[in-house]
């Protein structure tokens, strides 16, 4: 992948509160609107960001309210998004990313969070250290007719 020239960026730090899910995805979508994306592209972007942030709230900080850091950068024709937490981390990333896999004990998680991120963006990279936290990087092409 060629080195991208970023021409705009923002960083957002929010507490891992479920009421911030809507704010986080709306902030990224509002920022991405500069690239004149289609309605579907923006909808997909909102979903992918929502999944990443929800994972931080539900899994990374299951018993605490830690900090979620969202970095977004625009380049010509797309957006780079990094969602980082300093929560519990993921022991087995491959298993966590398996469609329908869930650690939810109450049967209300579809186990599709990473599937949505993967399907609705053009690139997904997940890195994690148990006990230290998880970083999710996504890239999505936007506004290319």
Partner 1 sequence: MKLTITHGDKYLCAAIGGDIDHHTASEIRIRLDGEIERSMPSMLILELSGVEFCDSSGIGLILGRQRLMESLGGGLAVKNPSPPVRKLLMLAGLTRLIINDDRKGAK
Binding footprint of partner 1 on the chain (CB under 8 A): 18-19, 21-22, 25, 40, 43-44, 46-47, 50-51, 54, 57-58, 104, 107-113, 115-116, 119
**CB atoms closer than 10 angstroms to residue 7:** 10
Min separation Cβ 109 and partner 1, Å: 5
Q: Closest Cα to residue 143, out of 82, 44, 72, 76? A: 76
Write out the two tokens for 82.
């990094």
Q: Closest Cα to residue 96, out of 83, 81, 86, 109? A: 109
Min separation Cβ 116 and partner 1, Å: 5
Min separation Cβ 117 and partner 1, Å: 9
Closer CB to partner 1, residue 71 or residue 109? Answer: 109
Min separation Cβ 42 and partner 1, Å: 10
Closer CB to partner 1, residue 52 or residue 79? Answer: 52
Exposed / middle / buried, residue 74 (Cβ in 10 Å: 0-12, 13-18, 19+):
buried
């Amino acid at each position: 992948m060629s080195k991208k020239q970023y021409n705009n960026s923002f960083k957002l730090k929010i507490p891992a509160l479920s009421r911030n899910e809507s704010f986080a995805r709306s902030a990224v979508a509002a920022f991405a609107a500069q690239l004149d994306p289609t309605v579907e592209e923006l909808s997909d972007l909102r979903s992918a960001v929502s999944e990443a942030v929800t994972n931080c709230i539900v899994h990374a900080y299951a018993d605490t309210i830690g900090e979620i850091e969202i970095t977004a950068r625009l380049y010509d024709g797309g957006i780079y998004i990094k969602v980082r937490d300093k929560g519990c981390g993921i022991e087995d990333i491959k298993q966590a990313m398996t469609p329908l896999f869930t650690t939810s004990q109450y049967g209300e998680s579809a186990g599709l969070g990473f599937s949505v991120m993967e399907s609705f963006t053009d690139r997904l990279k997940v890195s994690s250290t148990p006990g230290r936290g998880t970083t999710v990087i996504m890239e999505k092409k936007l506004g290319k007719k």
